[in-house]
């Protein structure tokens, strides 16, 4: 029976040894690891975004001038005809400049060609010019009058035609700055809220240390519902949502 007692004692001693190791790993060592987790800083990355609704205060439009149907088929132009076209275009350009709503003022006039079976053939003339117009809502009537007068000059000459564009809504520089300020305020409030949320979930004190803005949608224009040929009424418009986002780095300690 002595050997049985010896065996049981050995098993008991082994159990104590194993239990001691388990206790050390689960409690003593585990507490050390947990303490180290609590003390060591943790880096967290998150994308934070803010939105505001805004009614744009301005319009943008991009009128174009192109050759008339007759000019597109005219094989040759005399110097006198070129001079007439130049004078007429300058009158149109002056209308745009005097309005102080549009920029532009140069044009290209060159022969156009068609190709068939590798053969290049003169087919007429090509004329093109581009303008950009930016104006406040209260200046819409002024813009419409200017476009009608420029269109009348184009039609009376017969060499080129004015393409009346669709009007788009946009933020003026002043409004864009104001909206930017509102978005930044809302974004920083959300970042502060994120600091609190991370602190609560991680059991640490979290703070933002770096952010990189993403503002691609801030100044984007939106097409209105107005017809391109309708200058008798202002475009139909609606409230737009502007966004400002940032990739934010947090440190939690």
What whole-number distance in Å separates Cα of residue 171 and Cα of residue 134?
10
What's the pLDDT at 34?
Answer: 45
The owner of tokens 């819409």 is 140
- DSSP notation for 62-119: --EEEE-HHHHH-----HHHHHHHHHHHHHHHHHHHHHTSEEE---EEEEEEEEETTE
pLDDT at 130 over 90: yes
**What is the three-state SS of 177-243?**
HHHHHHHHHHHHHHHHHHHHHHHHHHCCCEEEEEEEEECCCCCCCEECCCCCCCCCCCCCCCCEEEE
Q: Determine the structural domain holding residue 28 and report its residue range.
A: 1-40
Q: Average pLDDT, stretch 153-176?
A: 86
The answer on 149 and 71 residing in a single domain is yes
The answer on 176 and 160 residing in a single domain is no
Of 65 and 41, more confident: 65
What is the domain count for the chain? 3
Report the chain's mean pLDDT, rounded to a whole number.
Answer: 80
The answer on 151 and 68 residing in a single domain is yes
The answer on 212 and 178 residing in a single domain is yes
What's the pLDDT at 211?
Answer: 83
Of 3 and 174, more confident: 174
Going by pLDDT thresholds of 50, 70 and 90, the confidence category of residue 100 is: very high
The answer on 192 and 156 residing in a single domain is no
Q: What is the CATH number of the domain that holds 144?
A: 3.30.70
Last residue in a domain, options 121, 141, 164: 164
The answer on 198 and 148 residing in a single domain is no
Query: pLDDT exceeding 90 applies to what percent of the chain?
Result: 30
What's the pLDDT at 106?
Answer: 86
What's the pLDDT at 234?
Answer: 66
The answer on 85 and 47 residing in a single domain is no
Last residue in a domain, options 107, 130, 164: 164
The answer on 216 and 132 residing in a single domain is no
Going by pLDDT thresholds of 50, 70 and 90, the confidence category of residue 26 is: very low
The answer on 68 and 3 residing in a single domain is no
Residues in a beta bridge with 48 = 246
pTM: 0.66
The answer on 185 and 131 residing in a single domain is no
Q: Average pLDDT, stretch 132-147?
A: 91
Going by pLDDT thresholds of 50, 70 and 90, the confidence category of residue 37 is: very low
The answer on 151 and 69 residing in a single domain is yes
Going by pLDDT thresholds of 50, 70 and 90, the confidence category of residue 240 is: confident
Residue whose C-alpha is closest to residue 129's, from 87, 97, 163: 163
pLDDT single digits (tens) 3-15: 555 544 444 455 5
pLDDT single digits (tens) 204-238: 899 998 888 876 655 554 544 443 445 656 666 77
The answer on 247 and 214 residing in a single domain is yes
pLDDT at 85 over 50: yes
């Amino acid at each position: 029976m002595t050997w049985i007692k010896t065996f049981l004692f050995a098993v008991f001693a082994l159990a104590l040894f194993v239990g001691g190791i388990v206790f050390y790993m689960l409690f003593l060592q585990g507490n050390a690891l947990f303490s180290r987790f609590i003390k060591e800083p943790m880096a967290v990355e998150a994308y934070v975004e803010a939105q505001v609704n805004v009614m744009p205060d301005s319009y943008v439009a991009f009128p174009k001038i192109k050759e008339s149907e007759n000019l597109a088929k005219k094989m040759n132009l005399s110097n006198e005809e070129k001079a007439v076209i130049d004078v007429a275009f300058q009158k149109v350009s002056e209308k745009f400049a005097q309005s102080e709503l549009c920029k532009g003022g140069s044009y290209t006039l060159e022969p156009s060609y068609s190709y068939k079976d590798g053969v290049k053939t003169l087919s007429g003339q090509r004329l093109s010019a581009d303008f950009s117009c930016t104006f406040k809502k209260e200046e819409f009537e002024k813009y419409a009058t200017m476009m009608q007068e420029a269109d009348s000059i184009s039609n009376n000459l017969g060499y080129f035609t004015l393409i009346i564009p669709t009007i788009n809504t946009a933020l003026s520089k002043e409004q864009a700055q104001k909206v930017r300020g509102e978005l930044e305020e809302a974004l920083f409030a959300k970042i502060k809220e994120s600091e609190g949320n991370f602190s609560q979930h991680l059991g640490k004190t979290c703070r933002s240390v770096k952010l990189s803005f993403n503002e691609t949608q801030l100044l984007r224009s939106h097409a209105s519902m107005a017809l391109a040929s309708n200058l008798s009424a202002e475009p139909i418009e609606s409230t737009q949502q502007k966004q400002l986002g940032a990739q934010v780095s947090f440190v939690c300690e």
